[in-house]
């Protein structure tokens, strides 16, 4: 099996940098997801791994072996694209079997057997003679997956494979991909802009932004302890506050926002780097909607309700406190336009602080 390492990978297009010194390592058999908004560099990273792009600097290694300069056909990777990229002039079986023209099927299996084996794996048994245009989008994507897997690649790369499909199909296919991946134990790099998908499917996630990796971690780490303000805002719903440190005492930090004061636990995300924090510094923290409740006794403030969305098991409420947008997760829709909410100190997570933070945010 294969592990994957990217070290200091940069990619420049004309003047602009698509990737800046990206370091990543993906373990053998791991399901690893690159997530971020469009233009963040996640697809470029995937294309660099596949060999479609050469990095401007840095190194890509499979099992420690340098891949720079190795053409895609020699990298032994399977790639699934957003738009399926099935060869329209070939049947489904010919598509799936295409890679076997260049690499032998596993020992003891004929090419034909391998093709039907793969079609079975993606629940398309018997569809081999169809033309790709006769299949639905979801079926086409499964053909594409079967095609990528047929030559037993050591690395599976999926580039937004679900984004052309409707929501229900995505979920089904997502589970199918995950099932196949864990069955085959194949090292997988998955690119998506959908953070929920990323959290749902991955062993580990890298959040990318503007050519940088903002944070790498398990879905839980990414969700609970976002490393940067960007991650906090990008992954899941979140409430982000920015204030001025009033006092740091014991295991608490007191922060002032407008005329209100809040108490945060000293340990919440500040870590060792936070030791220099003192009064007068700017600080950004976030609170997940589910931690912000009308019943909390501490850190209370009023919210003007603007809209609410009924989600079934809960209600998502968008509102405003002064200029700060607020999102809440309640069990019932709010009865009044004004309500007061609060959070427990340990419900907050500090994501950013800056000794010289200017009034940029206001």
Partner 1 sequence: MTTGPLGSGSPRGRGRGYDWLERHALQLTALLTAAVLGVMLYLPVGVVFAEALFLDGRLSLAHFREVLTDPFYFGVLASVFADPLAVGSHYASLVDWILAGFPSFRMGLFGFTAYQAALSTVASLALGLPAAYILANYEFRGRRTIRSLTILPFVLPGIMVAVGFYAMFGQAGTLNTILGVVGLGPFRFIERNPLAIVIVAHAFYNAPLIARITVAAWESVDVRALETARSLGASPRRAFADVVVPQLLPAITTGALLTFIFTFMTFPIVLALGGLQLATVEVWVYARIQRLDFAEAATLAILETIVSLALTYAYLRYESAQAGMSRAATPPPRERLFPDLRTVLEPRRLAIVGYGVVALVVFVGPMASMVIGSVTDGSGFTLRHYEFLVQRQAEGATYQTLPWPAIRNSLLFGVATLFVAMPMGVVISVLTTRSGRGRDQSGRWATVIDTLAMLPLAVSGIVFGIGLLRGLVFGIPLVGGWRLQVTGVVAIVAAHAVAAYPFVTRNVSPLLADLDPSLVESARSLGASRYRALLDVELPLVASGIVAGAAFAFAISIGEFSSTVILASGGDTYTMPVAVERYLGRRNGPAIAMGTVLLVITGLSFVVVDRVGGRFERD
Q: Which residues contact 290 (CB under 8 A, 6 or more apart)?
A: 329
Rounded CA separation 205/43 (Å): 14
Least distance from partner 1 to the Cβ atom of residue 59, Å: 14
356 in helix, strand or coil? coil
Interface residue with partner 1 among 23, 104, 113, 120 (CB under 8 A) is 104
* Interface positions, 149-168, toward partner 1 (CB under 8 A): 150-155, 157
Interface residue with partner 1 among 8, 13, 112, 136 (CB under 8 A) is 13
70 in helix, strand or coil? coil
Residue 310 in contact with partner 1, rule: CB under 8 A: no
Residue 343 in contact with partner 1, rule: CB under 8 A: no
CA distances (Å), 190 to each of 55, 211, 223, 270, in order? 19, 17, 18, 30
Rounded CA separation 143/139 (Å): 6
Residue 17 in contact with partner 1, rule: CB under 8 A: no
β-bridge partners, 254: 247, 263
Interface residue with partner 1 among 7, 20, 21, 98 (CB under 8 A) is 98
Residue 335: CA count within 13 A, CB half-sphere: 1
CA distances (Å), 208 to each of 44, 163, 191, in order? 11, 18, 10
Interface residue with partner 1 among 65, 120, 123, 338 (CB under 8 A) is 65
Q: Which two tokens stand for residue 12?
A: 């420049």
Total site size for partner 1, rule CB under 8 A: 50
Residue 74 in contact with partner 1, rule: CB under 8 A: yes
Least distance from partner 1 to the Cβ atom of residue 336, Å: 44
Residue 220 in contact with partner 1, rule: CB under 8 A: no
Residue 77 in contact with partner 1, rule: CB under 8 A: yes
The burial class, CB within 10 Å (0-12 / 13-18 / 19+), for 92 is buried
Interface residue with partner 1 among 39, 68, 85, 252 (CB under 8 A) is 85
Nearest to 262 by CA among 225, 231, 296: 296
Interface residue with partner 1 among 21, 25, 52, 203 (CB under 8 A) is 52
DSSP structural state of residue 75? T
Interface residue with partner 1 among 76, 117, 194, 233 (CB under 8 A) is 76
Least distance from partner 1 to the Cβ atom of residue 101, Å: 7
Residues lying near partner 1 in the complex (CB under 8 A) are found at 1-2, 13-14, 18, 50-52, 62-63, 65, 67, 70-79, 81, 83, 85, 87-89, 98-105, 133, 144, 147-148, 150-155, 157, 184-186
């Amino acid at each position: 099996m294969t592990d994957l390492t990217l070290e200091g990978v940069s990619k420049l297009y004309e003047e602009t940098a698509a990737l800046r010194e990206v370091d990543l390592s993906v373990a053998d058999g791991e399901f690893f997801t690159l997530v971020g908004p469009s233009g963040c560099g996640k697809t470029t990273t995937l294309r660099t791994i596949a060999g479609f792009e050469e990095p401007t600097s840095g190194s890509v290694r499979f099992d420690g072996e340098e891949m720079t300069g190795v053409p895609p056909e020699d990298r032994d990777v399977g790639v699934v694209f957003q738009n399926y990229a099935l060869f329209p002039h070939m049947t489904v079986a010919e598509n799936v079997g295409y890679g076997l023209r260049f690499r032998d099927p596993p020992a003891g299996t004929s090419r034909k057997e391998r093709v039907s084996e793969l079609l079975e794996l993606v629940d398309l048994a018997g569809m081999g003679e169809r033309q790709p245009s006769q299949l639905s989008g979801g079926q086409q994507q499964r053909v594409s997956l079967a095609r990528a897997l047929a030559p037993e690649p050591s690395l599976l790369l999926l580039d937004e494979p679900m984004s052309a499909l409707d929501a229900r199909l995505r979920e089904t296919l997502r589970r199918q991909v995950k099932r196949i991946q864990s069955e085959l134990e194949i090292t997988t790099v998955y690119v998506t802009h959908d953070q929920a998908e990323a959290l749902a499917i991955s062993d580990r996630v890298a959040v990318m932004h503007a050519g940088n990796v903002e944070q790498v971690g398990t879905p839980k780490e990414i969700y609970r302890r976002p490393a940067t303000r960007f991650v906090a805002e990008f992954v899941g719903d979140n409430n982000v506050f920015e204030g001025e440190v009033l006092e740091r005492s014991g295991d608490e930090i007191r922060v002032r926002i407008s005329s209100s004061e809040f108490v945060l636990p000293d340990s919440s995300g500040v870590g060792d780097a936070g030791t220099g924090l003192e009064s007068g510094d700017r600080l950004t923290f976030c609170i997940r909607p589910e931690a912000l409740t009308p019943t909390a006794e501490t850190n209370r403030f009023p919210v003007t309700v603007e809209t609410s969305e009924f989600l079934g098991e809960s209600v998502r409420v968008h509102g405003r406190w002064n200029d700060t947008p607020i999102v809440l997760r309640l069990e019932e829709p709010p009865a009044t336009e004004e309500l007061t909410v609060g959070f427990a100190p340990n419900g907050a997570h500090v994501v950013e602080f800056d000794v010289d933070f200017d009034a940029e945010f206001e």
